[in-house]
Structure formats: C-alpha cells, structure tokens
C-alpha cells in the first residue's frame, strides 16, 4: 500500500483548513471527540443485535494523551473502528454528495473566514479540522471483529498513505503532530493538560462516555492521576435551570454538527401518559441542502440515554423539518424498527407535543421577539408556507398566525392579524397582489384604486404565496382577495355603475372580445382602474395568471399547465375608451379597432408582468401605430 492522492476537492479543503487563521482552532478537539463518541455509539448500537461484537472490551470511553516533548496530542477510543476500505472512503475523500456544491458556494461567498468555517460545518468535514493545528495526522484503527489494523497518515499536502499495521485492540487512535507555531504558543497551550481539560469541559462535557486524561496531582506536578474530564450527564437530563445558554449552544454545535447559533432552544419534559424529554433547537441558518430532496428531517431518538436512531422523521411534521433536536423516552425499546415506529402511539403523542411546543415558541417569537422572528422567517418562512399549502390546508389554523408578508404599508412584513387590526373602516376583505417582486406588484394598474382608498395590500411575491390561498382563503372571517381577480370591487356603487355602463357599451365589448379571438374568456369594464387604459385579470376565483405562470415554469412544457381564465378589463373613463367607442360606431370591423384591441390586451399582459403571446405581432402593431401618429403631425 503506498501513497495515494486526495481527491481534488479534499485537497482544496485541506488548504483552506491549513491556511485558515481561524480564532477558534480549538474546535478540532470537539470534532475529534464527537467522532469518537459517534464511533462508540455505533458500536453500542450494533452490539444490540451482535452480542459478541464487543468481546471483553466493554469499558467504553475515550482517552487523551499529551506528549510535550514530541509535541503530539493523541485521542483514542474503543469504538467501532474502521476497515481499510472505510478509512479510504471516510477519511480519504469527502464522501458527501455536496462536495462540488461546497466549492461553488465557497467561490460565491468570499465573505471571509467565518463563512468558510460555517460552510465546512454544513458539509460535515469535521475530521479535517485536525489540520488547523496539526502538520501531520496519524490515524491507527481496527474495526470491531477485524484482525488487522490500518495506519493512515497525511501531512495535509495532497496525499496520504494507508497501510496495514498491528493494533492490539478495537478502536481508533488519532495522533496530531502539532504545527510548530501552535506547539510554541504560551497562551492556549494545547500541550497543557489544564488547557485541554478546559476545552473538554467547554465543548464536550455532555459526551456520554468518559473522556480520560492523565492530570497532574498535588502541587509539584510530578505525579499524575487518570481523571475523567467530562461530567457525562447528558445535557437533556439536567434541569433547565442548571444549563447555561453557552452549554446549550455547545451541545447544539457538537451533537448536530451545526455551526450557527440556535435562534431558540426548547427543553421540555412530558410526564403522564407518555414520559419523555425533548431538547429542540430552532436554527438561525438554513442547513445545507435543506431545500433539496436529499434533505433528511427528523429528531434523534434515545431511550434512557441510549442512542436508537439518527433521524426519526415521524417525530417532526414536514413543515418543521428545520428543527434539530432529540427525544429521549424510556417507553421505546432499543431495537425499534422503522415499521413499528410508524404506527407507534407513544411516538405519535410525543410528535404532537413536539409540534405544539415548536409552534408555541414560534408564536411567542412572532409576538414578542419580532426581530428574531423576522430573521427566522427569512430563512425558514418558506417551510411554514409549504405547510399551509400542503395537505389541502389542514394545517392552516396552526400556521396562519405565523405567516409574514411584505405589504404596501412600509418595509416591515406584517402578520394577517396585524393587517386585520389596521383595516380601514368600511374595508371588509384582505387584499393581496401577486407578482414577481415588489416593484412589479407596486406598479400593477389596480394598485392605484387601493392606494386611493387607503387600503393596505399584502405583496405575494414568493411563488408559493398565492398557492397558499387554496387552503387559506380567509382569516378571521375576512376573505383574502387578489387585486388581479375579476370579482374584485371595492365598493358597491362603483360595481353598479360598471354594470350599467356595460349595458350601454355591450356592442363594443362584444366586438373587442371577438377581435381577441379566443384569447380572453371575457371582456368587461373595470370598476377599479384609474389612469391605466386596461388590465388583465383572472376570472372566477380559479387559477390566477401568476399561478399559471409558475406552473408553466415548474412543468417546463413537459405537460401542458392548466390555464387561468383570462378577463380583459377596460377603463371606461380613459381617453382610449372614447376612441374605441367612436371607431366601433363607425365600423365594428375596422382593422384599426382590431389592432387596438390586440394592443390593449398585450400591454395589459405586460403591466401584469406576463409575457405577450406573440412579441413580433405586438411590435408590428406598435410600429404601425407610431407611423400613423407620425403622419398626423
């Protein structure tokens, strides 16, 4: 077995680690301890079904050894260990699907050290953090039930060696040969046992296996004793009052491979019918791949502090998939299968409680810690919107007060409750405008009338927003109404007036519709328009035009997307309407009338943010019009 090359990306990552002047270098220790603890968990878990796996070596734990002269730190565990193939797979490559995206992101995000480190964390490349302090790393491991040991070594220079070696017992020993500049430091001296003890207490206190180290004993420091550095009490089993914010944070980072700080922490206990403890974290940053189909949601499951499962998705509704955390309940047996889990009543009860606790926390945040909530919303709002949209709106009642929307009343997003609380007298509905972005909806021709009335308009500028109205059609008895829907009227008189006028102009309306040749289902007079000559709206409360467009984009022509019903509304008070009336009186079949109808339709599509059906025809008509107008001057 000779020298091997790291995969290209791994090399890039190593360079990043080595050159990083990150101030929190000490986290390498937490990462290696956490890996060792995982390895011990795996061993313990597998031995449930393979009783002879552990053999006589049942005293599970970690050991840290410091060699001041040799300038090394060695972290040993008697966990599951690795075979040679596993070493190559797990350590020689970043065996994660995200490697490529990682570097793409790195390139986009030239925002400094912390961003880099945060990204590294998202991609779970904890082992490589060893190279933040080491010039060479030696790993010697022996897999459970295997005869041969494996020795892996790398100086972080693009290659590593891997070969068979003798190893007496199961597990892994990782030796860090410290870089000279690190070893020579007087402060934060990593070769000082007290410094290591402090780090273990700070970052790894709750590790459930003993982390032992020789510590100086007495005053002269000559004698030493083997000491367990961590308290080993799982954090979640402690009383809330006894746990500091820093400890919660450290636990979050270590247990969930997270690098952001949680925006909220929920530590709760259920007694009575089902006994359990839950420790839940609401992250402040979207985890990597959260929006991809590969993302796996779920909570860790423990039974009496023994690890059962990494991602129990039955414990979290899909729309709360961003929540990280764990549940420990003595009511679960250790060799619980997935199939059993799905039907487990206890689990369902716990899941319900977990959901409620998280929703309560979010509700509290939206009402009392608005800045935090808005940050949360930026990151995860879409997940909650998805919850409103999914399941035909069954979750709407739980979620409706957690939604935030940008609005025409300033820069701050509002809740539906706030909207309703400041509705104008005489206003009976909740208005929203859908479009691609803020500018687009602000310029919708219908906005003018609402602005004039002083009515607030919610901006539905996220594609999913309007789809939510399928389940969320009203709030506190107030209907949600699109300002781009044909049935919108702001007051009765205007509506009646419009009906009367439609009667008078019946002939023209029918002619325009005929000229548009099946493009619109209906032509009407608008009760709403102010300065715009016409607008396009969707008919009959069905699919809207913006929804149609979104569906078109997502289906990418693979299937014909369902069509919205198009209605052209003309402004009877606009000068062009008088022109149309005159042209129609002269000759309903005049080509000019036909062109004008087409132009009004096309420009209405454009102001609604929609593409025109035939851009070339549109351009030709516009040019003809310009020539005509030019001739007249």
Q: Which is nearer to ligand ADP, 296 or 339 (CB)?
A: 296
- Tell me the window of 124-132, 214-222, 432-440, 560-568 that interacts with Mg ion (CB under 5 A): 124-132
Q: Among 36, 254, 299, 551, which residue sits at the site for ligand ADP (rule: CB under 6 A)?
A: 36
How far apart are CB 256 and ligand ADP at their closest, in Å? 10
Question: How many distinct helices (H) and strands (E) make up the chain?
Answer: 22, 21
The whole-angstrom separation of Cα 14 and Cα 88 is 16
Which residues in 126-155 contact ligand ADP (CB under 6 A)? 126-127
Q: How many residues does the chain have?
A: 633
Q: Per rule CB under 6 A, is residue 90 in the interface with ligand ADP?
A: yes
**Which option in ligand ADP, Mg ion, none does residue 125 bind, with CB closer than 5 to 8 A by kind?**
ligand ADP
Q: How many residues bind ligand ADP (CB under 6 A)?
A: 17
Q: Does 77 bind ligand ADP (CB under 6 A)?
A: yes
Cβ-based nearer residue to Mg ion, 260 or 602: 260
- Measured CA to CA, the distance from residue 605 to residue 574 in angstroms comes to 18
Helices 506-515, 492-504: axis angle to 10 degrees equals: 80
Find which of Mg ion, ligand ADP, none residue 386 binds, CB within 5 to 8 Å per kind.
none
Beta-bridge partner residues of 216: 224
Q: From CA 53, how far away is CA 41, in angstroms rounded?
A: 13
Return the residue of 79, 81, 126, 572 that touches Mg ion, per CB under 5 A.
126
Q: Which of 29, 54, 80, 516 binds ligand ADP (CB under 6 A)?
A: 80
Least distance from C-beta 170 to ligand ADP, angstroms?
Answer: 10
Least distance from ligand ADP to the Cβ atom of residue 233, Å? 23
Q: Which of these segments, 57-65, 121-129, 172-180, 483-491, binds Mg ion (CB under 5 A)?
A: 121-129
Residue 99 CB, nearest distance to Mg ion (Å)? Answer: 16
Which are the contacts of 272, defined by CB distance < 8 A and separation ≥ 6? Answer: none
Measuring CA to CA, how many Å separate 355 from each of 277, 351, 484? Answer: 14, 6, 36
CB of 124 to ligand ADP, least distance (A): 3
Question: Is 535 in contact with 525 (CB distance < 8 Å)?
Answer: no
Counting contacts by CB under 6 A, is residue 158 touching ligand ADP? no
Three-state DSSP class for residue 527: coil
Q: Is the CB of 10 or the CB of 35 nearer to Mg ion?
A: 35
* d(C-alpha 322, C-alpha 262), whole Å: 11
* Segment interacting with Mg ion, rule: CB under 5 A, options 87-95, 126-134, 493-501, 612-620: 126-134
User: Cβ atoms within 10 A of the Cβ of 393, count?
Assistant: 18
Residue 62 · residue 212 · CB < 8 Å: yes
Q: Is 550 in the site for Mg ion (CB under 5 A)?
A: no
405 contacts 413 by C-beta, under 8 angstroms? yes
Minimum distance of Mg ion from residue 139's CB (angstroms)? 13
Q: Which is nearer to ligand ADP, 79 or 287 (by Cβ)?
A: 79
CB proximity list for 499: less than 8 A, separation 6 or greater: none
CA distance 613 to 611: 6
Among 99, 172, 268, 482, binds ligand ADP (CB under 6 A): 172
Q: State in angstroms the smallest separation of the CB of 255 from ligand ADP.
A: 11
- The 513-552 site mask, x for binding ligand ADP (CB under 6 A), equals ----------------------------------------
Helix axes 575-586, 506-515, angle to 10 degrees: 90
| Residue 98 binds which of ligand ADP, Mg ion, none (CB < 5-8 A, kind-dependent) | none
Angle between helices 27-47 and 193-204 (to 10 degrees): 60
CA angle 367, 371, 376 (to 5 degrees): 90
With CB under 6 A as the contact rule, the residue among 6, 30, 79, 465 that binds ligand ADP is 79
Q: Which lies closer to ligand ADP via its Cβ, residue 82 or residue 488?
A: 82
Q: 248-287: which residues touch ligand ADP (CB under 6 A)?
A: 257
Would you count residue 31 as binding ligand ADP (CB under 6 A)?
yes
Chosen from Mg ion, ligand ADP, none, partner binding at 598 (C-beta under 5 to 8 Å by type): none
Q: How far is the CB of 42 from ligand ADP (least distance, A)?
A: 8
Residue 80 site contact among Mg ion, ligand ADP, none (CB < 5 to 8 Å, cut-off depends on kind):
ligand ADP
Instruction: Give the residues across from 141 on adjacent strands.
Output: 150, 172
Residue nearest Mg ion, Cβ-based: 126
3-state secondary structure of 510: helix
Q: Judged by CB under 5 A, which stretch of 33-41, 68-76, 195-203, 349-357 contacts Mg ion?
A: 33-41
3-state secondary structure of 251: helix
Which residues have CB under 8 Å from 95's CB, separation 6+? 89
Task: Name the minimum Å distance from CB 80 to ligand ADP.
Answer: 6
Rank residues 124 and 158 by Cβ distance to ligand ADP and give the closer one. Answer: 124
- Give 66's contacts (C-beta < 8 A, 6+ positions apart): 72, 73, 191, 192, 193, 196, 213, 214
- What count of Cα atoms within 13 Å lies in the side-chain half-sphere of residue 309? 21
In whole angstroms, give the CA distance from residue 270 to residue 277: 6
Q: Do the beta carbons of residue 221 and residue 215 sit within 8 Å?
A: no
Task: Please give the Cα distance from 275 to 291 (Å, whole number).
Answer: 33
Binding marks (x or -) toward ligand ADP, 37..76, rule CB under 6 A?
--x-------------------------------------
Distance CA 265, CA 269 (A): 13
- The one among 10, 14, 17, 35 contacting Mg ion by CB under 5 A: 35
- Residues in 102-131 at the binding interface with ligand ADP, rule: CB under 6 A: 124-127
Which residues sit at the interface with ligand ADP, rule CB under 6 A? 31, 35-36, 39, 77, 79-82, 90-91, 124-127, 172, 257
Residues that bind Mg ion (CB under 5 A): 35, 126
């Amino acid at each position: 077995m000779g020298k091997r090359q790291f995969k290209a990306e791994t090399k890039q990552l190593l360079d990043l680690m080595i050159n990083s002047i990150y101030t929190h270098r000490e986290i390498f220790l937490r990462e290696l301890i956490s890996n060792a603890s995982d390895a011990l968990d795996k061993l313990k878990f597998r031995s449930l079904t393979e009783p002879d796996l552990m053999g006589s070596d049942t005293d599970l734990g970690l050991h840290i050894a410091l060699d001041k002269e040799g300038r090394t730190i060695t972290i040993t565990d008697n966990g599951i260990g690795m075979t040679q193939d596993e070493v190559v797979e797990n350590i020689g490559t970043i065996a994660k699907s995200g490697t490529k995206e990682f570097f793409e992101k790195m390139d986009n995000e030239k925002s400094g050290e912390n961003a880099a480190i945060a990204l590294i964390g998202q991609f779970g490349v904890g082992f490589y953090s060893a190279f933040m302090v080491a010039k060479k790393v030696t790993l010697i491991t022996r897999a459970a039930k295997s005869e041969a040991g494996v020795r892996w070594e790398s100086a972080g220079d693009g290659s590593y060696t891997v070969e068979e070696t003798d190893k007496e017992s199961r597990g892994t020993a990782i030796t860090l040969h410290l870089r000279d500049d690190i070893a020579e430091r007087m402060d934060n001296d990593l070769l000082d046992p007290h410094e290591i003890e402090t780090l273990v207490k700070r970052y790894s206190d709750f590790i459930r296996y003993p982390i032992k180290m020789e510590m100086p004993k007495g005053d002269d420091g000559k004698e030493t004793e083997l000491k367990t550095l961590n308290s080993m009490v799982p954090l979640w089993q402690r009383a809330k009052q006894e746990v500091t914010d820093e400890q919660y944070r450290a636990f979050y980072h270590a247990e969930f491979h997270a690098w952001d700080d949680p925006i909220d922490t929920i530590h709760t206990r259920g007694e009575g019918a089902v006994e359990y403890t839950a420790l839940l974290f609401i992250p402040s940053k979207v985890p990597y791949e959260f929006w991809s189909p590969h993302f796996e949601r779920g909570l860790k499951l423990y039974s009496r502090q023994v690890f059962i499962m990494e991602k129990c998705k039955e414990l979290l509704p899909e729309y709360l998939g961003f929540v990280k955390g764990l549940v420990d309940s003595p009511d679960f047996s250790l060799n619980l299968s997935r199939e059993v889990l799905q039907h487990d009543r206890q689990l369902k009860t716990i899941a319900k409680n977990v959901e409620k606790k998280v929703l309560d926390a979010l509700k509290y945040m939206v009402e009392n810690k608005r800045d935090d909530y808005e940050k949360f919303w930026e990151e995860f709002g879409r997940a909650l919107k998805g919850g409103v949209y999914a399941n035909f709106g069954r979750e709407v009642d739980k979620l409706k007060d957690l939604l935030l929307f940008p609005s025409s009343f300033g820069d701050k997003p509002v809740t539906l409750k706030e909207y309703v609380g400041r509705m104008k007298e005489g206003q009976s509905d909740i208005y929203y405008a859908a479009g691609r972005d803020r500018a687009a909806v602000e310029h919708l021709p219908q906005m003018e009338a609402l602005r004039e009335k002083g009515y607030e308009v919610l901006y539905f500028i996220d594609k999913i927003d309007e789809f939510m109205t399928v389940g969320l059609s009203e709030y506190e008895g107030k209907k949600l109404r699109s300002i781009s829907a044909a049935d919108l009227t702001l007051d009765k008189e205007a509506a009646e007036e419009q009906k009367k006028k439609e009667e008078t102009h019946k002939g023209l309306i029918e002619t325009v519709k005929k000229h548009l040749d099946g493009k619109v289902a209906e032509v009407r007079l608008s009760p709403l328009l102010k300065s715009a000559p016409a607008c396009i709206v969707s008919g009959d409360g069905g699919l809207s035009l913006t929804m149609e467009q979104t569906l078109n984009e997502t289906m990418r022509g693979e299937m014909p997307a369902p069509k919205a019903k198009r209605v052209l509304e003309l402004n009877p008070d606009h000068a062009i309407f008088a022109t149309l009336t005159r042209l129609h009186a002269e000759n309903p079949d005049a080509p000019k009338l036909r062109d004008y109808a087409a132009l009004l339709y096309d420009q209405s599509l454009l102001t609604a943010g929609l593409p025109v059906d035939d851009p070339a025809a549109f351009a030709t008509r516009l040019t003809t019009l310009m020539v005509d107008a030019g001739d007249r001057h």
